[in-house]
């Protein structure tokens, strides 16, 4: 049933869930596709289409029961569990991500931080002690890591990536500005902080010219 779900659909499901949780807190218990669409910047038809890919969660004439739909979405998105995350790279980006509370709130728990700089190894970050990247295999296995966030320099990526994949990690969030080559059963999401600014730059240049 769940084939060919587009990235855009998944992104919107996340938005829906976020709004549902916000609205639930206010005490409303039902929401129409129209309302949900308004709050997430899409159309009612799109909301219904997205949800219909996974089942029939609404009541005609009424809308969607908020707690139920939220729970369905959490299950669909795999957010009904805790994901064990390792941060590989303890530099500026790494430490900002570590301190960012939004991950934990959604069930992504950073259980290990690794760095190549031996002067950093042994530092305590909250509950986590920084490990040497040389011990990557040991740490990822011992901590049962599901997802790795790569915030290392581009030149270290190929070696580290191979080792991460070899140890069985199948989800990678990549902050390094390189094209990652991985086996088919490994999922990579790239985050590129400059890319969005470049898209802005493009948009601003376009409108200015006309």
Residues making contact with DNA (CB under 7 A): 4, 6-9, 32-34, 42-46, 48-49, 51-52, 56-64
Binding to a second copy (CB under 8 A): which residues in 57-96? 76-79, 83, 85, 92-93, 95-96
Instruction: Tally DSSP H helices, then E strands, for the chain.
Output: 9, 11
Of the candidates 51, 46, 80, the one whose C-alpha atom is nearest the C-alpha of residue 64 is 51
The residues, any chain, with a CB within 8 Å of residue 53's CB and separated by 6 or more, are: 2, 5, 9
Q: How far is the CB of 63 from DNA (least distance, A)?
A: 4
**Residue 45 touches which of a second copy, DNA, none (Cβ within 5-8 Å per kind):** DNA
Binding to a second copy (CB under 8 A): which residues in 113-152? 146-147
Run of H or E residues at 189: strand 187-190
Q: How far is the CB of 58 from DNA (least distance, A)?
A: 3
**Residue 119 touches which of a second copy, DNA, none (Cβ within 5-8 Å per kind):** none
Of the candidates 5, 8, 13, 3, the one whose C-alpha atom is nearest the C-alpha of residue 48 is 13
Tell whether the torsion through CA atoms of 71, 76, 105 and 197 is positive or negative.
Answer: negative
Cβ(128)–Cβ(145) under 8 Å?
A: no
Q: Residues interacting with a second copy, by CB under 8 A?
A: 2, 5, 7, 10-11, 13-15, 18, 39-41, 76-79, 83, 85, 92-93, 95-97, 99-100, 102-103, 106-108, 146-147, 170-173, 177, 179, 185, 187, 189, 191, 193-207
């Amino acid at each position: 049933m769940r084939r060919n779900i587009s990235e855009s659909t998944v992104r919107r499901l996340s938005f829906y869930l976020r709004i549902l949780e916000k609205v639930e807190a206010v005490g409303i218990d039902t929401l129409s596709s129209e309302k949900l669409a308004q709050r997430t910047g899409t159309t009612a038809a799109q909301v219904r289409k997205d949800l219909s890919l996974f089942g029939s969660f609404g009541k005609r004439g009424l809308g969607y029961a908020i707690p139920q739909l939220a729970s369905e979405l959490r299950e669909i998105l795999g957010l009904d569990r805790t994901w064990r995350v390792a941060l590989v790279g303890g530099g500026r980006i790494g430490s900002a991500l570590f301190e960012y509370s939004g991950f934990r709130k959604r069930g992504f728990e950073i259980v290990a931080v690794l760095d190549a700089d031996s002067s950093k190894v042994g530092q305590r970050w909250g509950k986590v002690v920084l490990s040497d990247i040389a011990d990557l295999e040991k740490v990822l296995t011992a901590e049962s890591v599901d997802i790795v966030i790569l915030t290392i320099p581009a030149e270290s990526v190929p070696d580290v990536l191979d080792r991460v994949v070899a140890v069985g990690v199948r989800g990678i969030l990549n902050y390094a500005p390189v094209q990652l080559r991985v086996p088919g059963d490994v999922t990579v999401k790239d985050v590129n902080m400059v890319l969005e600014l470049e898209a802005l730059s493009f948009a601003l240049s376009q409108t200015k010219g006309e």
